[in-house]
Structure 1
Amino acid sequence: MTARRRPARAVDQPSRPAARLSEYAVGRDNNFNLIRLVAALSVLFSHSVAALGLPSSREFFFDHLGLSLAEMAVDVFFVTSGFLVAGSLVNRGDVIAFLWARALRIYPAIWVMLILTVFVLAPALTTLPLADYFASPKTHDYFVKCATLIGGVRYSLPGVFETMPLHGEFNGSLWTLPIELRLYCYLAAGWLVLAAAPAIRLRAMSIAAPIAACAFLVLILRGRLFGAPFNAADTRIFMFLYGTTLYLWRDKVPMRPAILFAALACLLISSVNEQAFFVVYVVSLAPLVLHLAYLPKGRVLAFNEWGDCSYGVYIYAFPIQQTLAFLFPGMPLIAMILVSAAITLGVAALSWTLIERRALALKGDFAAATSRAFNLGLAKIAGVGR
């Protein structure tokens, strides 16, 4: 009798390591342009309710979650900014090039917007004589503060929108820009401070960023859950630092569809309680945004060919909505959303095509010229010192 042969044991196949964020965070094959545009249009939707003076209950998200759609959209902006800006600094390794890239992304478009709104739109709407409007210190202060973004911005122009539900607010969306600008500068300053120790620079920043993020997380959770004082800017700073941290730790961050679905499920389950939702929201938003930015592939990536119109939508939407509410009192909410979105998208597309894209194309030339001037200055100083 022959012995029955045992089946050969299957050889264990080495499991493929889970994909990491670092495998995705290369090149421009992502959905960030689409995410930012959706966020900008979400701010427009939320502000439509306020511009018409409608009760907050008409804004579904604020009424049910304790957070407006605009707040969440701004947080998305800061997460993406923290992630992408950290990548820009690390990949360039040059503070001058980094600062020029950031300046050319923010300033040219906002300067054109201010010229069009302060010197064309507002004079057509003000209740003051034009001579008084242009002579008013309030007009000058608004233009200078919003053009520099240093020391905060101003929100009102004399005689404009003073009878509207959003009393006197000309462009309420600009409040986030000085915060973002300061965060850029802090990031650059940290890079410069660590220039003396380049071998540990990234390691030190990888430790400092999450520590700072955790400090702000504690601050906003204490404020939200226990009534301790905190500023709305604190949440935006946390989101920026969270995005920065995820970039610096991208080699350790797993990327799986299961994580995306788990985050969405947790948000949905926690929505029954505002405080529970807020905790889940602040912890999960950044990974959720990055999964949406990198995992969906296919035709959705073709949206990148349209460029990035989100900044134009963000800086133009508010005055356009206030103007519509002023000219057409009692305008239905759906009409405000659709008309303001159509006008704003058209203006934003022109801003991207004519201003923003062309300005960004100059960042290399500006950085090179600045570096040459800086090196020449150092050479002269060294020559005088001999």
Structure 2
Amino acid sequence: MRLSHYAVGRDNNFTLLRFSAAMTVLFAHSIGALGLPPETEPVFRRVGFSLGEMGLDALFVTSGFLVTASLVNRGDLISFFWARALRVYPALWVMLLLTVFVLAPALTTLPLHDYFASDMTWSYFAKCGTLLGGIRYSLPGVFDTLPLKGEFNGSLWTMPVEVRMYIYVAVLWVAFALLPALRSKGMRFVSVVAVALFFVIVLRGRFSEGAFNGANIRMFMYLYGSALYLWRDRVPMGVGTLLALLAALVVASFDRTTFLIVYLLAMAPFVLHLAYVPGGRIRRFNDWGDYSYGVYIYAFPVQQTLAFLFPALTLAAMMASSAAVSLAIAIVSWKLIEERALEHKDDFAAKTWRLFNLGLARMGVTAGPDPST
């Protein structure tokens, strides 16, 4: 059976998988928030990178797969960009308003006038609110005494990478606009080349003496997930393949170099097997809501706040308390902001198309039918 057989409809485990991945990132960050060494995590000691990094990779694999599917199935960039923008920005902006203008002023060691007068405050809000050209990490006078000194919401560093990948996929789509008959084959070819290129870049980065760029492996995972969607009619799936991938990862974990190579090759298909192969009652998680994004964008400032207020917290207490608080906030974010924003994506796309066609009509150009209707 092939991946294309599974990759239809919404009956899958992506919601549970992404939530679990966001939680692993939270648990991994608990170690850093308390100033504990990375070796505190058994996974890090064994293979050289943390469970949190694996959670990030799972998020980027699923994002690459689902975002590419969204573009291919929608078939037009306006609908695609509205879907992406409404998934990312409304919840992000509310989070920034709450953390930059409510939480941080309550915790800063500076007088409030100095905090709000600082260019750092407004630069942080602007950069993190647009996700263009990177983010800012610190707010004036906040968390300067913690082990993760001055880091207010370190998790956001991946968000500009994610948005950049949306743009890359869209550019690839547009590049074949004049040759729609070759679009599928062209995108397949480019996807394989891109995955192979980043595979080499990641390996060279890991084994060279220079600083390792974590963004490269995230982009590799995104591109790998995207390529697997484009090649879905050729990708084998099944319980046997799932067990073989798991066995390969376990066996390879006895040597760090071997594990890295096997991990890069096996992680993306392994994640997609977890998303599609297990069935039954586990699928009921989809009915609860998608809380992964809320957990991801709120967990870091929650953990830093807990570390600031309760410096004697144990690791177990940090994990449990930050998970509970972050999940509670994520549920509210999903119910009040994210879910409601996503309900308008088709309406906004249709209105944008009407404005676009109206503008062309005034110039005497015929644009053709509105693809969003």
User: What is the CA distance between 1:225 and its match in structure 2?
Assistant: 3.1
Distance in 1, Cα, partners of 2:108 & 2:183: 52
Give the secondary-structure state (helix, strand or coil) at the position aligned to 2:224.
helix
Q: How far off its partner does 1:229 sit?
A: 6.2
Paired residues for 1:19-30 under 5 Å: 19-30=1-12
Structure 2 counterpart of 1:44: 26
Q: Is the 8 A contact 1:222 1:228 kept in 2?
A: no
Map 1:88-127 onto structure 2 (within 5 A). Answer: 88-127=70-109
2:217 is matched with 235
Between Structure 1 and Structure 2, how many residues are aligned? 365
Question: Residue 294 of structure 2: which of 308, 312, 327 is its match?
Answer: 312
Q: Which segment drifts farther, 21-30 or 51-60? A: 51-60
Amino acid at match of 1:242: Y
Residues 230 and 328 of structure 1: CA distance in aligned 2, closer, same or farther (over 3 Å) = closer
| Residue number among 130, 139, 157 corresponding to 2:121 in the alignment | 139
Q: 2:206 aligns with which of 224, 230, 236?
A: 224
Q: How do 1:201-216 and structure 2 match up within 5 A?
A: 201-216=183-198
The residue type equivalent to 2:198 in the other structure is F
Q: CA deviation at 1:381?
A: 2.0
- Three-state SS of the structure 2 residue aligned to 1:127 is coil
**Structure 2: which amino acid aligns with 1:80?**
T
Q: Which amino acid aligns with 2:158?
A: T
Q: SS in structure 2 opposite 1:264?
A: helix
Mapping 1:1-386, distance limit 5 Å = 19-227=1-209, 231-382=213-364
In the TM superposition, what whole-angstrom CA distance separates every residue of 1:304-361 from its partner, at most 9, and x where no partner exists? 0011100000000000000000000121110000001000000000000100000000
Cα distance in structure 1, aligned partners of 2:305 and 2:206: 34
Q: Distance in 2 between matches of 1:158 and 1:263?
A: 47
3-state secondary structure, aligned to 2:10: coil
> What amino acid is the match of 1:175?
W
Question: Does the C-alpha gap of structure 1 residues 354 and 71 become closer, same or farther in structure 2, counting only changes over 3 Å?
Answer: same
1:215 partner amino acid: L
- Name the stretch that deviates more: 224-233 or 320-329: 224-233
- The one-letter code matched in structure 2 to 1:344 is S
Partners of 1:343 and 1:41 lie apart in 2 by 12
Q: Deviations over 1:357-381 (max 9, x none)?
A: 0000000011011111111111122
Amino acid at match of 2:324: A
Normalising by structure 2, report the TM-score: 0.96
* TM value normalised by structure 1: 0.93
Question: Whole-Å Cα distance in 1 between the matches of residues 52 and 360 of structure 2?
Answer: 47
Tell me, what secondary structure is at the counterpart of 1:382? Answer: coil
Q: CA deviation at 1:194?
A: 1.1
Q: Is the 8 A contact 1:219 1:230 kept in 2?
A: no
SS in 2 for 1:242: helix
The AA in structure 1 aligned to 2:11 is D
Q: Give the aligned residue type for 1:85.
A: V
Alpha-carbon offset, residue 226 of structure 1: 4.4
CA 249–228 in structure 1, closer or farther in 2 if over 3 Å, else same? farther
For residues 189-220 of structure 1, give each alpha carbon's deviation from its aligned partner in whole angstroms, at most 9, with x where no partner exists.
11112111111111100110111110000111
Q: Look up the match of 1:11.
A: none
Q: CA RMSD in A?
A: 1.0
Give the Cα–Cα distance (whole angstroms) in 2 for the partners of residues 236 and 227 of structure 1. 20
- Work out whether residues 66 and 274 of structure 1, in 8 Å CA contact, stay in contact via their aligned partners in 2: yes
Paired AA for residue 259 in structure 1? T
Unaligned segments of structure 1, at least 5 residues = 1-18
Q: How far 1:223 moved relative to its partner?
A: 2.0
Gaps of 5+ in 2: 366-373
**Secondary structure, aligned partner of 2:361:** helix
Q: What is the DSSP-based 3-state SS (H/G/I as helix, E as strand, rest coil) of the residue aligned with 1:322? A: helix
1:238 CA drift (Å): 0.7
Amino acid at match of 2:297: I
